[in-house]
Amino acid sequence: MFTIDERYRGLPANRDQVLALHLALNTPHVAIPGKQAGPAQAFVVGLRGGQGAGVFVYLYLVEAGDCAVYVSGRRIQSADELREDEDDALAFVESLGFMMDNANWRAATPAQQDEWLKTLPVFFREPTLVPAVKARAEEKRNVATTLGRFLAAF
């Protein structure tokens, strides 16, 4: 059973810590308690830590630039437990309407892994630091500034 853990805002990791990565192929509209409803991206990530491993479900709310991190609550000690939690996490996000794809982290090149670590919102400590979110915020500021100048001209 996966539950929201408000302590998490992102899952920053290095290549060696990532055990598995699954990405959503679609962005269904979801409603998460206490968050603005809207289109979301889903990520299922297996991470190795100092006390074992864990599987996380990361839902990124695209329009709000916010996230929700779900945890299973158990520390994984074996490959079988990792697969079991991965399967449970995938079933959970698929029940929300996501179609998931295995990114095959272990088979990806180091360059591809580095690209994912630098661009996917799941690996950022704070969702507002995601490059796409920062670019969208800058674009909104530019539009507002341009509109303000245009209106001031009259």
- Listed in sequence order, the residues at least 6 apart from 36 whose beta carbon sits closer than 8 Å to its beta carbon are 61, 63, 64, 66
132 near 62, Cβ under 8 Å? no
Residue 67 has pLDDT above 80, yes or no: yes
* Cα 135 to the center of its chain, rounded Å: 18
Confidence (pLDDT) at 17 = 95
Nearest to residue 20, comparing CAs of 68, 85, 75?
85
pLDDT in tens, 127-137: 877 765 444 44
pLDDT in tens, 72-109: 877 787 889 889 999 999 999 999 999 999 999 999 99
Q: Is the pLDDT higher at 37 or at 144?
A: 37
Q: Strand, coil or helix: what is 142?
A: helix
58 near 30, Cβ under 8 Å? no
Residues forming a β-bridge with 76:
53
Please list, residue by residue across 119-146, b when 16 or more beta carbons sit within 10 angstroms of its beta carbon and e when fewer do: ebbbbbeebeebeebeeeeeeeeeeeee
Confidence (pLDDT) at 84 = 93
Confidence (pLDDT) at 69 = 94
Confidence (pLDDT) at 91 = 96
Residue 65 has pLDDT above 90, yes or no: no
Confidence (pLDDT) at 16 = 93
List helix spans (H) across the chain: 79-95, 110-119, 131-152
pLDDT mean over 110-138: 77
pLDDT in tens, 28-56: 999 998 888 999 999 999 999 877 889 99
Q: Measured between alpha carbons, how far is residue 42 from residues 1, 59, 87 in Å?
A: 17, 5, 14
Length of the chain: 154
